[in-house]
Every structure is written in C-alpha cells, then in structure tokens.
Amino acid sequence: MALDRKWVYVALMAGMAVGLAVLAAPSRSEQSDAGGVRAAGQQRFTVVAEPLGDRRLGALVIDAETMRLLVYAFDFNKMQLKLAAVRDISRDVELTHWNNARPWPEDIRGMIESGQAGGDARPDAAPE
C-alpha cells in the first residue's frame, strides 16, 4: 500500500471511530434499568476492520441494541464505501450448536455427569 493510501486508511478508520463513538455515546435519557435500555458505559457498536489486500478494506459493525451485523467494503481505487450485507443476528445467538462436529455441549455435559469424561472419551465412539 502506498504511503498516501495508508493515510487514507488511517483517516477512514479514525472517521469511523469518531462517528461511531458519537452514535454510541449514551444520551441523557438512557437509564440503567432492566427495561431494555442499555446500562451506563455499555457500548452499542463494535467495529472490526481488516484490509482485504492492498486495495480494499472490510469492516464489520455489530449493533448490540438491534442485534444486527453490518458488513461494509471500502474500495481505495474508487474511494467508495459500500454496505455489502445486513443480518439480524438476534436468533443466531440463541443457537447452542450449528455446523459443529460432535461432541456437542450436551454430549460433554453428559460425559462429565456420568463420570466418563477422560482424555480419549468420544460420545460417537463405540464403548469398549
């Protein structure tokens, strides 16, 4: 990445950080009760950004209030920021296992409760 491109990257990240900090700052109307309002000091947005080669940047934004995942792509050649995807993850976080291989959490829990938990114990293996 050329030196001027690095400064564009730094400026972009600083701008996103400042903008999200302003959006995430708790307003005076927010209270720390259990009525669905964020507790004081809790952040609404989490941002993760990574370069995707020399000419592109990817950013993930997680909105803790609405439980949405937003995916952005920044193209340095076009100097363009594009919203690539939005997903409601509120139901995703309720899954206990998905696309995982065994042992599942309940398999491990069962092995521990029955005293079978050992270094080589596998719930899908036949008993010896």
For residue 54, give both structure tokens: 């020399």
Note the pLDDT tens digit of each residue in 68-98. Answer: 999 999 999 999 999 999 999 999 888 877 7
pLDDT greater than 70 at residue 38: no
Among 29, 16, 31, 7, which residue's Cα sits nearest to residue 70?
A: 16
Residue corresponding to tokens 């004081």: 40
pLDDT greater than 60 at residue 120: no
Indicate the average pLDDT of the chain: 74
84 vs 92: CA distance, rounded Å: 19
68's CB contacts (< 8 A; 6+ apart) are 62, 86, 87, 88, 89
Topology (CATH level 3) of domain 3-22+42-114: YaeB-like fold (3.30.2310)
61 vs 69: CA distance, rounded Å: 6
Indicate the pLDDT class of residue 116, thresholds 50, 70 and 90. confident
